[in-house]
A and B are shown apart, each in its own frame.
Chain A
Amino acid sequence: MRAWLNSFAAFLPLGVLWLGPLLAGLLAVLYGALDGEAWLTLFEHPQLWPALALSLGTGTLSLIISAVLAFWIVAGLYGGKLWADSSSLMGGFLSLPHLAFALGLGFLITPSGFIARVIGSIAGWPVPPQWVTTQDPYGLSLITVLVLKEVPFLIWLIGAQLARPDVSQMLKGHFRVSQSLGHGGASVWLRVFIPQIVPRLKWPLLIVWFYGASVVDVALAIGPTQPPPLSVIIWSDLNNADPAFNARGTAGALFLTAALIGLALVWMVLKKIFLPSIWKFFTRGPSRRRTPTITSGLLLLFFCAVYAMVFAVLCVMSIGTLWPYPNLFPTEVRWTAWQQFVMSPAPLLNSLSLAFASTLAALGLAVFWLETVPEKLDAALLVFAIVAIALPSLLVADGQYLAFLRLGLNGTWVGVFLAHLTQVFAYVFIVLKGPYRAFDPRYRAVSLGLNADPLRFWSTVKLGMMKPALAAAAAVGVGVSIAQYVPTQLIASGRLTTLPVEAVTLASGGSRPLMAVFALMLAVVPAIAFLVAARFGRKPL
């Protein structure tokens, strides 16, 4: 009884600040989609089917390639000298928002971009080549960005699994058994480790999948245009002046979500039917093949090189007013963009205030829940957290826009804060739940036995021991909030602007130096949060 009362008390702030806005958004989007005309016009859209195919294709391919590369790298490096460094490196890569990365990578690979200039200056090309790189019709550059960004995320997730004492203990045992049966390292990974790790990562993998298939800001920056991915069509519909287009956008967001869920269901069925036989084919006979140490190392090096180049190119872009092909350095260097950025700091300040407020609120809500609600209810909350993250942000944000319209929250800081909290709390809860629940209750018994009152125990003992986990969750929260584009743009209604909103606006029509400044700031803020978190605990991420 007392437990239930506690849950209710814990639920109140959570219900008002998080679950309420989330469910209101979902209900509003379903209600908004009760518009037959909108569905008719959606299905008459000449680009609907190619755009849908592009969305599902880029999302699915990027997931498969990322997963293969991530496991390849982990299999080669796990247990080796580079492993500890590379997993903390991945955490650093993780803090760079997709959008900032896409904007920098775009300038590397575009036909008049840095790579073409390097090759051109060696091969003597007088004019830029006519490559079809950025915004190629098949979305290959979009897939490239997604893969380069998701691989570190997956490596970090796999690393987190491998770092669990129970998992590493079990895998060590399995490794010894397999080796004595004549299997090499690669064979053990393929036959034993991967099949055990993948099911543990099914939700993160689903999130990566759906994210890639519904992302807006990255697709706007580097995705194909004719036709664009469905998410971009939905996005321009949602921002259209005509309410009929808005309704079509809402219908489109629901349609894309339904298509993704349908695809996931198809995958589940196919997995049941075909996976055993495919797996058998892949794993015939005992193999002495060793783990791919060298290629893994090279891949890691490649990732480091790309991230370093993206960062360097963004830095030069921010001061390069005129930088024509084939120059490797700008012909006109001015600090105008940085001056402009400093002169109007509103986007940075808004981003910071939203990030801090939503992260603090999320930490408060999560700790309150974990302290007052029995563990068995975690699963229920986890479902909602995964729903908040996995569903396309287009859908959730459009729903919240429609719901907030009635509450007068659009265009207000509070409205944007709630929209950020929807995402931030979900991530913070997921990151914090494991370490927090793993806390040994005997510490509490000992402390209370030593005459410490519960509050003192909590503030001195538990908080201290939880500090690395809390710091890691906070860094994740800041990173998630800073990167929010879709909800901010819709719900801020132009009233307040943040770093990603400015960056996308500038990418679609503004000066490249200023765009580079915003991309850099997008990268710098989460990186600082990550570094601060790293100081608080040995291994925050």
Chain B
Amino acid sequence: MKFSKRELFKAAGAAALLPLFPKAGFAGDWAALEAQAKGQTVYFNAWAGSEPINTYIAWVAEQVKARYGVTLEHVKIADAAEVVRRVRDEVKAGKAEGSADLVWINGENFRAMKAEKLLFGPFADELPNFKYVDTEGKPTTLVDFAEATDGLESPWGMAQFTFFGDGSKISEPPRSMDELVVFAKSNPGRVTYPAPPDFHGTTFVKQALYESITDRSFLRLPAKDDEFPRLAAPFFDLLDSLHPHLWRAGQQFPQSQAQLKQMLADGELLMALTFNPNEPANLVASGEMPASTVAWQHRAGTIGNTHFVAIPINSKAAAGAQVVANFLLSPEAQGRKAELKIWGDPTVLATAKLSADEARFFGTSVVPGSVTDPAPALPEPHGSWVPLLETAWLESYGT
């Protein structure tokens, strides 16, 4: 690997020295960092399938330009895996000046980048605004799919698995996997989920595993190949009883959550799913779903997680990227992001602990399409379960 001396020094310095500095000592450094960031261009690689997100990022770009002189370019990608691949290839090719400076990331992609040392940092817990993060109430801000963040990524938003549909067509939404089987039986062909390894499809499968496994404590631990068939047997029973009643008798599955959403809006399906509890309300606001839309979570809890931003090790604007990451954590940016009309992405901050001045950025209104009876967030199963589940799913239902 070839990196410039400055880059190496910066990385080594950050790794070796920063943990020794007390928080108070960082303030001076932060001003220096902001000075260094001025004039830098930060290429923010972020999934761009949704217009509210793109519009929000455009707002962030305006703000950081005006406040810190940082130019933020939104590199619109379809899948964060593309960025992981690109950074890896660039580092392999010895390219110290990488093409990505900030990545929207979590889960498997983070695990891969962390394991392969493709990330700059630790920097996240040194950001001045990190003090607002609700690390106690939202433990997933520090543990990303059972992988410790170690300050290599900065929390950005919260997600929790949520279902939604048209309330005028669903009198009683199914609030567990067992109820979902009954619901699908009485509405054949009107329920489905995206095929794994689509992110939402995999989450649905994980949720099914959660609700069928006899001892949940196994899910915290690495999955073992030899024990998997025995532990997952009730899970396959559940899917076997569900699939015959799904859309196209469970022989075919939509490819993405967006497709599911569109099929719901068209009237082809009765329900869809999302990882953003505010998305249904958002869709009502933007006119894409009727005002009678209802959203719900399974009574015993649904899988929740946090999404983050991280800085690739070969970023050529690491200072600017940190300034942006810090701005993303500010009450103003977080509050605006949580606003339904803007994006509706739940905040990672401890809103109860904010001062009145800081809390004013967060609205409190209840709108059509919001989750009426929120359920607890279940932590993601250990990441090693994912490849086993996906392979088993593909073998059993994919051909």
Decide if B76 touches A408 in the complex (CB within 8 Å).
no
Decide if B257 touches A509 in the complex (CB within 8 Å).
yes
B360: Cβ under 8 A from any A Cβ: no
How many residues on A have C-beta within 8 angstroms of the other chain's C-beta atoms?
55
Closest chain A CB from B97 CB (angstroms): 10
Interface residue ranges of A38-63 to B (CB < 8 Å): 46-47, 50
Interface residue ranges of B212-261 to A (CB < 8 Å): 247-248, 251-259
How long is the Cα–Cα vector from A411 to B86 in the complex, in angstroms?
Answer: 9
Closest chain B CB from A262 CB (angstroms): 23
Q: A239-B82, A495-B75 are in contact. Are A321 and B251 (CB under 8 A)?
A: no
Decide if A509 touches B85 in the complex (CB within 8 Å).
no
How long is the Cα–Cα vector from A291 to B246 in the complex, in angstroms?
Answer: 49
How long is the Cα–Cα vector from A74 to B152 in the complex, in angstroms?
Answer: 65
For A220, the chain B residues whose CB sits under 8 A away are 255
For A325, the chain B residues whose CB sits under 8 A away are 266-268
The residue of chain A having its C-beta at the shortest distance from the C-beta of B75 within the complex is: A494
Of A129-137, A171-179, A277-285, A421-429, the segment with at least 4 beta carbons within 8 Å of chain B is A129-137
Q: A47-B399, A111-B268, A510-B49 are in contact. Are A494 and B289 (CB under 8 A)?
A: no
How long is the Cα–Cα vector from A406 to B248 in the complex, in angstroms?
Answer: 46
Decide if A226 touches B399 in the complex (CB within 8 Å).
yes
A322: Cβ under 8 A from any B Cβ: yes
For B263, the chain A residues whose CB sits under 8 A away are 112
B364: Cβ under 8 A from any A Cβ: no
Q: A226-B195, A510-B51 are in contact. Are A46 and B86 (CB under 8 A)?
A: no
Closest chain B CB from A398 CB (angstroms): 12
How long is the Cα–Cα vector from A58 to B84 in the complex, in angstroms?
Answer: 33
For B248, the chain A residues whose CB sits under 8 A away are 130, 132
The residue of chain B having its C-beta at the shortest distance from the C-beta of A513 within the complex is: B288
How long is the Cα–Cα vector from A506 to B51 in the complex, in angstroms?
Answer: 10
Decide if B82 touches A505 in the complex (CB within 8 Å).
no
Q: A50-B399, A225-B253 are in contact. Are A340 and B82 (CB under 8 A)?
A: no
A128: Cβ under 8 A from any B Cβ: yes
Q: Among the interface residues A110, A336, A411, which one has the most CB atoms of the partner chain B within 10 A? A: A411
A289: Cβ under 8 A from any B Cβ: no
A166: Cβ under 8 A from any B Cβ: no
Q: Among the interface residues B89, B256, B257, which one has the most CB atoms of the partner chain A within 10 A? A: B89
CB contact between A47 and one of B108, B252, B262, B398 (< 8 Å): that residue: B398
For B256, the chain A residues whose CB sits under 8 A away are 508-509
Decide if A408 touches B95 in the complex (CB within 8 Å).
yes
For B254, the chain A residues whose CB sits under 8 A away are 135, 225
B397: Cβ under 8 A from any A Cβ: yes
CB contact between B288 and one of A47, A132, A322, A406 (< 8 Å): that residue: A322
How long is the Cα–Cα vector from A326 to B108 in the complex, in angstroms?
Answer: 41
How many residues on B have C-beta within 8 angstroms of the other chain's C-beta atoms?
57
For A50, the chain B residues whose CB sits under 8 A away are 399
How long is the Cα–Cα vector from A340 to B76 in the complex, in angstroms?
Answer: 14
B300: Cβ under 8 A from any A Cβ: no
B11: Cβ under 8 A from any A Cβ: no
For A340, the chain B residues whose CB sits under 8 A away are 51
B22: Cβ under 8 A from any A Cβ: no
For B109, the chain A residues whose CB sits under 8 A away are 241
Interface residue ranges of B289-339 to A (CB < 8 Å): 289-290
The residue of chain B having its C-beta at the shortest distance from the C-beta of A48 within the complex is: B399
Closest chain A CB from B96 CB (angstroms): 12
Interface residue ranges of B81-137 to A (CB < 8 Å): 81-86, 88-89, 93, 95, 99, 108-109, 112
For B76, the chain A residues whose CB sits under 8 A away are 494, 497, 502, 505
Closest chain A CB from B393 CB (angstroms): 10
Decide if A226 touches B86 in the complex (CB within 8 Å).
no
Q: A242-B112, A323-B266 are in contact. Are A508 and B255 (CB under 8 A)?
A: yes
Interface residue ranges of B254-288 to A (CB < 8 Å): 254-259, 262-263, 265-268, 286-288
The residue of chain A having its C-beta at the shortest distance from the C-beta of B112 within the complex is: A241
How long is the Cα–Cα vector from A240 to B189 in the complex, in angstroms?
Answer: 32
Decide if B394 touches A321 in the complex (CB within 8 Å).
no
Q: Is the interface of A mostly helix, strand, loop or mixed?
A: loop
CB contact between A243 and one of B88, B255, B268 (< 8 Å): that residue: B88
A297: Cβ under 8 A from any B Cβ: no
Closest chain A CB from B247 CB (angstroms): 8
The residue of chain B having its C-beta at the shortest distance from the C-beta of A411 within the complex is: B99
Q: A322-B289, A411-B99 are in contact. Are A239 and B268 (CB under 8 A)?
A: no
CB contact between B286 and one of A135, A321, A326, A504 (< 8 Å): that residue: A321
B149: Cβ under 8 A from any A Cβ: no
For A128, the chain B residues whose CB sits under 8 A away are 266-268
CB contact between B93 and one of A321, A406, A497 (< 8 Å): that residue: A406
A511: Cβ under 8 A from any B Cβ: yes
Closest chain B CB from A1 CB (angstroms): 43
Q: A225-B252, A225-B255, A495-B99 are in contact. Are A239 and B85 (CB under 8 A)?
A: yes
Decide if B268 touches A46 in the complex (CB within 8 Å).
no
A85: Cβ under 8 A from any B Cβ: no
Q: A243-B88, A405-B93, A509-B49 are in contact. Are A226 and B75 (CB under 8 A)?
A: no
For A231, the chain B residues whose CB sits under 8 A away are none
Q: A322-B290, A497-B76 are in contact. Are A512 and B262 (CB under 8 A)?
A: yes
CB contact between B394 and one of A46, A324, A509 (< 8 Å): that residue: A46
Decide if A509 touches B50 in the complex (CB within 8 Å).
yes
Q: A47-B399, A50-B399, A508-B255 are in contact. Are A240 and B286 (CB under 8 A)?
A: no
Decide if A510 touches B99 in the complex (CB within 8 Å).
no
A224: Cβ under 8 A from any B Cβ: yes
How long is the Cα–Cα vector from A512 to B80 in the complex, in angstroms?
Answer: 22
B357: Cβ under 8 A from any A Cβ: no
B182: Cβ under 8 A from any A Cβ: no
Interface residue ranges of A393-425 to B (CB < 8 Å): 405-406, 408, 410-411
Decide if B398 touches A46 in the complex (CB within 8 Å).
yes
A474: Cβ under 8 A from any B Cβ: no
A362: Cβ under 8 A from any B Cβ: no
B45: Cβ under 8 A from any A Cβ: yes
The residue of chain B having its C-beta at the shortest distance from the C-beta of A242 within the complex is: B112
The residue of chain B having its C-beta at the shortest distance from the C-beta of A325 within the complex is: B267
A353: Cβ under 8 A from any B Cβ: no
A388: Cβ under 8 A from any B Cβ: no
How long is the Cα–Cα vector from A497 to B89 in the complex, in angstroms?
Answer: 20
Q: A322-B289, A497-B76, A508-B255 are in contact. Are A243 and B398 (CB under 8 A)?
A: no
Interface residue ranges of A317-350 to B (CB < 8 Å): 321-326, 332, 334, 336, 340, 344
Closest chain B CB from A322 CB (angstroms): 5
- What 0/1 pattern do residues 500 to 529 of A give for CB contact below 8 A with B? 001011101111101000000000000000
For A508, the chain B residues whose CB sits under 8 A away are 49, 78, 255-256, 258-259
For A47, the chain B residues whose CB sits under 8 A away are 394, 398-399
B77: Cβ under 8 A from any A Cβ: yes
Decide if A239 touches B79 in the complex (CB within 8 Å).
yes
Contacts beyond the supplied A50-B399, A508-B49: 9 A-B pairs with Cβ under 8 Å = A111-B268, A135-B255, A136-B252, A227-B399, A241-B85, A243-B88, A340-B51, A508-B255, A509-B49
- 8 A-B pairs with the lowest CB-CB distances in the bound complex, closest first: A509-B49, A241-B81, A325-B267, A241-B84, A509-B258, A112-B266, A112-B268, A332-B287
A-B contact pairs, 6 of them (CB 8 A): A241-B88, A241-B108, A243-B88, A324-B266, A408-B95, A494-B86
Residues of A participating in the B interface, judged by any CB pair closer than 8 Å = 46-47, 50, 110-113, 127-128, 130, 132, 135-137, 220, 224-227, 239-243, 246, 321-326, 332, 334, 336, 340, 344, 405-406, 408, 410-411, 493-495, 497, 502, 504-506, 508-512, 514
